[in-house]
Amino acid sequence: MKTVAILDYGLGNLRSVMRGLERSGAHALITADIETASSADGIVLPGVGAFSQGMEQLRTIQDTLIAYVRDAPVLGICLGMQMLMEWSEEHGLHRGLGLVPGTVRRFPKEDGFKVPHMGWNTIRINNESPLFDGIPQESYVYFVHSYYADTAPEYRASTTSYICPFASSLQNGNAFGVQFHPEKSGAVGLKILENFIDLL
Amino acid sequence: MTLTKRIIPCLDLKDGRVVKGTHFVDLRDAGDPVELAQRYNEQGADEVVFLDITASKEKRGAIIDVIQRAADQLFLPLTVGGGIRSLDDMQQLLRAGADKVSINTSAVKDPELISRGAEKFGTQCITVAIDVRRNFAMREDVTPVALPDGRTCWYEVVIFGGSEPAGIDAIRWAKEVERRGAGEILLTSMETDGTKDGFDIPITAAVSAAVGIPVIASGGVGTLEHFHEGFVEGKADACLAASVFHFGEFTVREVKEYLAAKGIAVRL
């Protein structure tokens, strides 16, 4: 059985991520220690909250994490995905991990569209991303976010539209990210976690 | 590709048990909130809200157990409300597996709780529940709302389960909670709650227009048409209901099939 480490940097609902990974066939552990995490077959970078605070928590372990991605897969979820990017415009300009080129931006104001983008929306799967093996086009997944990743099409594993088309998932080498919450997206979400585990 | 409108069943809990009996005769334990939530999940619920009405402080640990068990079995968004007064309360519930916490009276008493909660856990975690009642004694500092019968009133925030008027204009309060970082508003009108006459459309539409965050309509649903009204006339982003689902008048799936046939985007 593959081991997945969930990086715990203090906040949020990690229990659902852990149970989701377990249900999808992995041994999951929650740890704040990067050495422990690095010995796992894969790392999940979860995250809710503000970008700068999240990066602040990662600062001391960021180099180890970046080195890890050369050899093994990392899956960022929601804020965890956004932190894979180079930059974020959330409350000023902040540097991310730089594992995927591009910038995290706030949804522009538009009449008739509430922010956060909260609820179930569909994904258009763009390429051969192994994350979406066996997932039908236009499957529903659960989103909660006010910022989105603006990145080149080659890094978009899927696209979703809300106000504008945005990257609902990312891939660059071993760096994977999903803007939605697979651990909150029922059977489709569990299948995506299972696909990630299969990559390990 | 559209963000779908959400249908949210609400379960009232006391000491970790579902408050009223349920029609689901085939449940192993009709009082177990996790089993009931699982049933709603199978029906296609988009989220589930647990509202804890446990009075005694000693027994409040029961909700933690419920959330843990629900999060272990259900892979859909869970919101918990009732009796949350501090960041510690929030943290405990989020750690147990809740995705959002809903605060009501405590937010009115201490609006900083919204700001601090949003800053610490993220705006998406903080739902502010606003309970309202019509007030016909107009004042200078309130927002007039026209009712379908031609009368004009303002909507006053009420707290402690609707038992105490807070003296605050609901629309102004809605804007303030947004400014303080709430991720969504759960709006319940005491005028319609329990009536089965439909949502309180005038205030739902007014609040939804006043804020840029999602609004959940609550209170008064009795028919399938009421859900449609909530979305189309009330401009709600989600509709919450308890008894119509609880007593099996219709299933979540029936509501969604009805809405889909009427052209509302729902997840089926």
Interface test with B, best of A14, A79, A114 (most B CBs within 10 A): A114
Selected from 3.40.50.880, 3.40.50.1100, 3.90.600.10, 3.40.50.300, the CATH number assigned to the domain covering A3-198 reads 3.40.50.880
Active site residue A22: no
Tell me the one-letter amino acid at A73: P
Contact B6 A119 (CB under 8 A): yes
d(CA A154, CA A199): 20
- Residue A159 CB coordination number (10 Å): 17
Distance CA B73, CA B125 (A): 20
C-beta of residue B167 within 8 angstroms of C-beta of residue B154? no
What residue has token string 């730089």? Answer: A98
Is residue A20 scored above 60 in pLDDT? yes
**A138 given a catalytic annotation:** no
* Chain CA centroid to CA A38, Å: 18
Round to whole Å and give the CA distance between B125 and B99. 6
The C-alpha atoms of residue B7 and residue A181 are separated, in whole angstroms, by 18
- Residue among A114, A116, A186 whose CB faces B75 most closely: A186
Domain extent listing, chain A = 3-198
What domains can you pick out in chain B, each with its CATH number? 6-261 (3.20.20.70)
B12 is catalytic: yes
pLDDT top residue among A141 and A11 = A141
Which of A30, A122, A144, A156 has the highest number of chain B CBs within 10 A, making it the mutation to test binding with B?
A: A144
**pLDDT interval class at A9 (50, 70, 90):** confident
Which H helix or E strand runs over B175?
helix B170-179
Q: What gap in Å lies between CA A188 and CA B52, rounded to an integer?
A: 30
Q: Which is nearest to B43 in space by CA: B255, B262, B212, B236?
A: B255
Check B46, B131, B193, B200 and give the catalytic one. Answer: B131
Q: Which positions 170-199 of B are in contact with A (Cβ < 8 Å)?
A: 183-184
Contact A42, A4 (CB under 8 A): yes
Residue ranges for chain B with pLDDT beneath 50: none
Q: What is the pTM of this model?
A: 0.95
ipTM of the complex, rounded to two decimals:
0.94
Q: Which one is catalytic: A90, A94, A145, A183?
A: A183
A32 with A14: CB under 8 angstroms? no
pLDDT at B24: 57
